Amino acid sequence: MVRKSYMILFFILVFLTLAGCSKDGHSAAKEIDKPDAEQGRQVEQVKNDDRIVATTVAVTEIMDALELDLVGVPTSYKDLPERYKGIKDVGNPMSPDMEIIMSLKPTEVMSVTTLKYDLEPIFERTGINASYTNLESLDDMHSEILKIGERYNRSEQAERIVKGFEEKLEDIEKQIEGKESPTVLILLGVPGSYLVATENSYIGDLVKRCGGVNIVTGEDVEFLASNTEYLQQANPDIILRAAHGMPDEVVEMFDKEFKENDIWKHFNAVKNGRVYDLEETLFGTTGNLAAAQALDDLLAMLYPQ
């Protein structure tokens, strides 16, 4: 990273005047011999001392949409934005590699609030400046995008992203107007077990936005242990099964549970064939930029034609 000195700053200013800042922040100048369309792009000066590490895929995708560079990204089987090709992997979101993170000399390490309890002591112990992005609902995500945009001079991009979601939600409200609200049970599966998602979970929030009524209400937490007898008494119209971690393995686990546990056959949702497996890339445990597509998919499940 460029050291702060008057001489280097002088050369940077000269380069910026002649060619403009590079989009990826790794080069101080571009070649002058570019098409007029490229020369006409808005030139933005990126602070050279911003060294940001994103430790979750959702945060990484948000930073890409805000056109912000990173020096570290999470290790994931999911495809990360092309902007971050070749950027250093810092490990699993739930247990990032602190040695790698410290070697990157970050000015900010970004995680999410749902992991704060586990990660905060580790970051504090190593003296790393960590922030926790609240992606627990659509409103929380919108608020955080605007805050990040303001913090890093990307307010225009942030407002554009949030406006797109707001327009989507307005369209959803029109589509469900006058329709009877189905009752919904949401199961969140991880390899070997599953929990019940309340209306306070991210997927619970999406269901509520689509007019669905979660059979688990009045709880402050996001997830509860499963009590199949209680769930059967509530007898939801629809069962949504969300796989997390190793989706193929979790779907197999759900299939086995529904086949071998006799109680599930008494659910109306099972009798009527209204059990749906949610695509993990769309329905994560926290908010993400795939929310618009996730809402469309939920609408088709809750209100079949």
| Domain-located, residue 265 | yes
234 phi, psi to nearest 5 deg: -70, -30
What does the pLDDT read at residue 272? 97
> Based on the domain organization, do 98 and 208 belong to the same domain?
no
Strands 193-197, 223-225: pairing kind: antiparallel
Range of the domain at 33: 6-39
> Based on the domain organization, do 213 and 264 belong to the same domain?
yes
> Based on the domain organization, do 285 and 185 belong to the same domain?
yes
| Domain-located, residue 45 | no
| Domain-located, residue 149 | no
What does the pLDDT read at residue 87? 97
Report the CATH number at residue 265: 3.40.50.1980
Low-confidence ranges of the chain (pLDDT < 50): 1-46
> Based on the domain organization, do 10 and 114 belong to the same domain?
no
Print burial letters for 156-178: b (CB count within 10 Å at least 16), e (below 16). ebbeebbeebeebbeebeeebee
What does the pLDDT read at residue 133? 98
Of the residues 117, 133, 149, the one at which a domain ends: 133
| Domain-located, residue 138 | no
| Domain-located, residue 240 | yes
> Based on the domain organization, do 116 and 220 belong to the same domain?
no
| Domain-located, residue 140 | no
At 11-61, the pLDDT tens digits run 333 333 333 333 333 333 333 333 443 333 333 434 558 999 999 999 999
| Domain-located, residue 153 | no
> Based on the domain organization, do 30 and 107 belong to the same domain?
no
> Based on the domain organization, do 75 and 23 belong to the same domain?
no
> Based on the domain organization, do 298 and 182 belong to the same domain?
yes
> Based on the domain organization, do 196 and 88 belong to the same domain?
no
What does the pLDDT read at residue 33? 39
> Based on the domain organization, do 118 and 212 belong to the same domain?
no
> Based on the domain organization, do 34 and 77 belong to the same domain?
no
> Based on the domain organization, do 181 and 293 belong to the same domain?
yes
Query: Considering its fold, how many domains does the chain have in total?
Result: 3
What does the pLDDT read at residue 219? 84
At 212-245, the pLDDT tens digits run 999 998 888 999 998 898 899 999 999 999 998 7
| Domain-located, residue 68 | yes
